[in-house]
Amino acid sequence: MKETSQKEFAEKDTRVAIVGATGVVGREMIEILEERQFPLSSLSLFASENSAGQVIEYQGKELVVQAINENSFHDIDIALFSAGGKISEQYAPIAKKNGVIVIDNSSHFRMDKDVPLIVPEVNSSHLREVLSTIKGNEGLIIANPNCSTIQLVVILKPLNKVAKLKRVVVSTYQSVSGAGKQGMDELWEQTMAIYNQAEVVIEKFSKQIAFNAIPHCDIFLENGYSKEEMKLILESRKILNLPDLKVTATAVRVPVFSCHSESVNIEFHEAISADKARTVLRESPGIVVLDQPEENEYPTAIELAGTDSTYVGRIREDLSVENGLDLWIVADNLRKGAALNAVQIAEIVLSTRQPH
């Protein structure tokens, strides 16, 4: 298939929609589309009836948010969904039937065997293969992975090329923005209450989040893992195409506004030194190595909020196991962990498929 450049695609009338435009991730999508000069000819913004009528600026123009309905997708080529699983379940298939390429940020379709789960730095070739099978005006649903999964697999993929993965143990330290605006508001309000010696109100999280760490992200399942932990385990296997990879996870919510951090222990089938890992990661797309701990150089959330790369440091050989490494990963969960990854997927769509 002859690839179509972004410029050619734009000239052929690329119509983009964002579903969930008034949410934290939806607004981030709008900002990133503008930052990256995404070549669209029109941008439609959709949300619930409660949010309809809000005005959002894009490239100096004021766009009015519309209430989503079954007729919202007749003049759309690409739709970025960020409105939750129920909205995706209801409207993504409708959009697909209208020939729309849907990029869904919810967890609803991620483990569907017929839905590609994509991180561009990791498995863009798989997406291109799927897109090459789409004929005419057929639509497609593409899943955007969980935020904590994305930054993990960006690091695991290049390491797996040089020393096959055997087992991965990851502990996440997830910011409150992963729980949306309500989570961010709760951290702020609880912090202010503590400073003002007022009552701390708990609504969004299971326990006080201010000055605390809560090992509880999403609901708990019968196997003792949280749903967030199982997303990370199952999605990593699917994205890496390693269905038997041993992965275990503990997901923790921490009082940080933006960026998820992860402590990762990796066991390999072959030997790999810390120096080799640093070299491999430095040469890999989407990764920045910050690893001079003697100079206090390592990734932290507060310094990296608003950035687009996946940052890695504290790379060292595991002294307790043969062929093991320990490392520390930080990425902005609203950008690379959600909105940016979705836009990057859309850019792949631009380069491989013409709109209808």
Active-site annotation, residues: 147, 260
Extract the tokens encoding 334.
Answer: 């609203």
CA 3 distance to own-chain centroid: 26
Structure tokens belonging to residue 114: 């017929």
User: Which residues in 298-328 are b (16+ Cβ under 10 Å) and which e?
Assistant: bbbbeebbebbbbbbbbbeebeeeebbbbbb
Say which residue the tokens 């310094």 belong to. Answer: 303
Token pair recorded at residue 81: 């969904």
Contact 209/176 with Cβ under 8 angstroms? yes
Q: What share of the chain is helix, strand, coil (3-state, %, to 5)?
A: 35, 25, 40
Q: For residue 121, which of 6, 283, 333, 272 has the smallest C-alpha distance?
A: 283
34 and 60 Cβ atoms separated by less than 8 Å: no
Closest CA to 43 of 344, 139, 52, 31: 31
Which long-range contacts does 187-191 make (Cβ < 8 Å, 24+ apart)? 187/255, 187/257, 191/255
C-beta of residue 254 within 8 angstroms of C-beta of residue 179: no
Select from 46, 84, 80 the least CA-distant residue to 65: 46
Unique residue bearing structure tokens 């790369």: 309
All residues at 6 or more sequence positions from 354 whose CB lies less than 8 Å from its CB, including other chains: 4, 9, 12
Instruction: Quote the DSSP letter at residue 200.
Output: P
